[in-house]
Amino acid sequence: MNCSTVKEWMPHYIDGQLSPEAQQAIHLHAQTCPGCAEWLEEARELAAMWSGMEAGLDRNGQEPVLPHDFPDLTGDVMAKIGELENGRRERTVKSTMSRRRTTRGTSWMHYGVAVGLTFLLLQLGVFENLAYGITEINGHMSTSVSSWFGPQGNNK
């Protein structure tokens, strides 16, 4: 049995929940492996401490721990969480509302700027030679394609 398997099954070994064969294998491994023996000792101490806490004893197992020694903070903590959550929701709603207003105004502004720039470019004649340029490019492409495939078609 390897160390990782022993450490994985250690809580079940301490509680006596393993089969006798598995109990014996872990026992033998802990006797021959100092690291696992130390791990087993620490696990037994933690189990004993946990049992003592469940029984209402302190760390040394001497004095009883009374329930009224610990304040109940659940209500206060949950109230504070509620306040923080409500504040977060209010900030989210406000920021969303302000973004919507600016988004609507911004989109119309963008359309207006686009129309204005298009009109300005038309007035300056930027698009005047655009159709001629496209026709020229189309003619050059047509000529080059014809020169690539044309001679093969004429050899018939």
CB-based burial label for 40 (10 Å; 0-12, 13-18, 19+): buried
- Amino acid at residue number 130: L
pTM exceeding 0.85:
no
Distance CA 94, CA 68 (A): 44
- Amino acid at residue number 107: S
What is the pLDDT, as a whole number, of residue 21? Answer: 92
pLDDT (tens digit per residue) in 51-101: 777 666 655 656 655 555 666 778 888 888 888 888 888 777 666 665 555
